[in-house]
Structure 1
Amino acid sequence: MSQSTLPESVRAGAFWLAVLLPFCSIAVLAGGVDTISRSVLFVGLVVGNVVALVLGHGYRR
């Protein structure tokens, strides 16, 4: 999907999600990733952050 075809609200939401998700990842790391479910949660947050970075990259405010 091209950056120009994304609605500005989606791009803005992805940008701010990319800003906030690392804080969630830090919280999960602080609690420990000693179980499979917490490991999956952490990997999901990292993947979500990468997707949000890609989608929100063109946001200009």
Structure 2
Amino acid sequence: MFLTEEKVKARITELSKFRYRDTIKLPEWIFVVDEAGGVGTYPPERDNHSSTIRIGER
């Protein structure tokens, strides 16, 4: 048990530098409704049916 706890503590310390990352402001989002809704498919291409949402708009 002691060795396992030490391994976990060492791993947590090792990964601590990746825990918090710089924030990025995203002022707007562009989205397209996926009518097919298939699992494991790529999102549809952006076209004239895409919409843009800005922060605080909706």
Q: TM-score range by the shorter chain?
A: 0.3 to 0.5
TM-score normalised to the size of structure 2? 0.35
Higher relative strand content:
2
Find the structure with the greater CA-based Rg: 2
Higher relative helix content:
1
